[in-house]
Structure 1
Amino acid sequence: MYVSVDRQVPADAFLSCWDGASEQTLDAALARPARRCIEAELLDRSAETYEGADLSTDKVLSLVITTRSAYRHSVVKTYVQALGERLALTEDLRIRVYSAVQEALMNAVLHGNLRIDGGLRGSLDGLIAAQAIIETKLESPQIGSSMIRLDADWTSSALAITVRDSGDGYDYSGVRPAAEDGMSGRGLEILQVFSDRVTVLNGGTTVRLEFQLCP
């Protein structure tokens, strides 16, 4: 479904709206010619979100969703499928892209927007407690509706995917791969294993993942 910011006429042929209901409706919303897709709950913020966006190239695919939908739906699987319809991805690269983006998205959800303590997931009791906290926060209009944005852009030789959350960031300067003190170190290590390059930006609220494409 293609919509304008005022939801009345289809003024932007490249902007689509996802109803947030299922992976099937997300797949439809991400179908060509969409270059930008935003969840209906966030549609009123689309003008601000995409201010100055460059639509001169078709080698982009952006998705803006709520934290609630990012946690409850298989968003990354559907997003990577949509990318695979726009550029050639080998099966190995598809798996790597999915694994890296899924990890980055879950970090954005749990640690960025929901601010879940990674230490809670170190035991069964902690996991139970964490799940209860997550569900409570997802029901909060302010937290559950906070934005997460995925942006992909590519050339003939490289693909880059950026994941942005709405959190306060973190001090990543001292984070070591496989750090013993939490999920951030292990998460960074996972990103580095599956991506050709990982860049942390904007105080930790943004992660850019880069992949080399086969010639």
Structure 2
Amino acid sequence: MTEPTLVLAVDDSMTQVTGMQLLLQQHGYEVMTAANGRLALEAVRERRPGLVVTDLQMPEMDGLQLVAALREEFSGLPIILTTAKGSEEIAAKALRLGASSYVPKRTLNEDLVPTIERMMSMVDVAEHVAKPSTLLTSIEMELSLGNDDMLVPNVIARLEQPLSELGLLDDTMQMQISTALDEALINAIIHGNLEISTELRYQGTDEQFREIVRERQRQTPYRNRSVTIKMAANREAVSFTIRDEGPGFDVSSLPDPTDFSNLGECGGRGLLLINAFMDEVVHQDNGNEIVMSKKKADALPEND
């Protein structure tokens, strides 16, 4: 029998941390808790969890300091931030330091478990990537994906195999690229090809939303659409072009994905994460193609 994933929930609010604990236990996770970053770091050193969910504003050691400490000692450990109004600036810094994703506190009940599930699927991907190779110097690849969003982790794994051989992926960059790809591919399938709006995600339970997705996957014309993924990479950088066959959307209608004051907004969360983790993001005018680029950390110019 598979052991349940251990999650460390960190928050100085007893109400918040208890709520997270009950929610995660109901979904089969083993949960340990900590009231601040210092206690969380001690807990991880004693027993490493599969994933950490942390608040940002806490006494003794806040969430930003915790992310920095965990990245130093446990570089591959996924970290999900819980964000509230007023924590946008520290959350932006934490994402750049190496936090893996975030969930607004006001949608915690709807979004935390699905975010953890997707994050753990990407951890499985990371465990099977190839080792760097001296033979591969560059690669171009094109993949076609239908509308089964459950296959997204497999696609990410296929894309990251040559990136690992090229020596592009340390633990932090691997998680950032995985998250950006996951968000872009899910957006292309759910919002692009299947034309399901973000609002529907919050009008019922997660299972009700999944049923809407399954129904659209069976219907014409949605079921006949696909997502095209093109990748070009060398030992210094990688570029992804992801295109869906939906009608597109007005990108300007979403909250500015480069403005971290929009962290608490339900819509545009995926685009905000993509912009946080990739060096350059460009959308086609009709909204159904995104180009994302990222350079290897040691290839980036140093800031003054």
TM (normalized to structure 2)? 0.47
How big is each residue's C-alpha offset from its partner over 1:86-106, in whole Å with a ceiling of 9 and x where there is no partner?
421222211111110100000
Equivalent position to 1:160, from 219, 222, 239: 239
Q: How many residues align?
A: 156
Q: CA RMSD in A?
A: 2.4
The separation in 2 between residues aligned to 1:141 and 1:190, in whole angstroms, is 31
- Match runs of 1:38-57 below 5 Å: none
Tell me the equivalent position of 2:28: none
1:120 aligned to 2:219?
A: no
Equivalent position to 1:72, from 127, 150, 170: 150
The separation in 2 between residues aligned to 1:131 and 1:72, in whole angstroms, is 11
- Match runs of 1:131-150 below 5 Å: 131-140=210-219, 142-150=221-229
Tell me the equivalent position of 1:104: 184
CA distance 1:58–1:167, shift in 2 (3 Å): same
How big is each residue's C-alpha offset from its partner over 1:93-134, in whole Å with a ceiling of 9 and x where there is no partner?
1111111010000000110001112112125x2534322211
Q: Percent identity at matched positions? A: 24
Tell me the equivalent position of 2:170: 90
Q: Which amino acid aligns with 1:193?
A: A
Deviation above 3 Å: which 4+ runs of structure 1? 126-129, 179-182
Q: Which amino acid aligns with 2:236?
A: S
The separation in 1 between residues aligned to 2:244 and 2:285, in whole angstroms, is 10
Q: Structure 1 regions of 5+ residues with no counterpart? A: 1-30, 32-56
Q: How far off its partner does 1:194 sit?
A: 1.2
The separation in 2 between residues aligned to 1:142 and 1:122, in whole angstroms, is 25
Point out the structure with max Rg over C-alpha. 2
How big is each residue's C-alpha offset from its partner over 1:21-74, in whole Å with a ceiling of 9 and x where there is no partner?
xxxxxxxxxx9xxxxxxxxxxxxxxxxxxxxxxxxx952111112113xx1222
Tell me the equivalent position of 2:143: 63
- Match runs of 1:197-212 below 5 Å: 197-212=280-295
Q: Which amino acid aligns with 2:184?
A: A
CA distance 1:92–1:181, shift in 2 (3 Å): closer
The separation in 1 between residues aligned to 2:199 and 2:205, in whole angstroms, is 8
Q: Are 2:229 and 2:242, in contact at CA under 8 Å, matched by a contact in 1?
A: yes
Q: How far off its partner does 1:165 sit?
A: 0.5
The separation in 2 between residues aligned to 1:139 and 1:77, in whole angstroms, is 24
1:166 aligns to what SS in structure 2?
A: coil
TM (normalized to structure 1)? 0.64
CA distance 1:175–1:141, shift in 2 (3 Å): closer
1:67 aligns to what SS in structure 2?
A: coil
The separation in 2 between residues aligned to 1:60 and 1:86, in whole angstroms, is 13
Choose between structure 1 and 2 for higher RCO, CA contacts under 8 A separated by at least 6 residues: 1
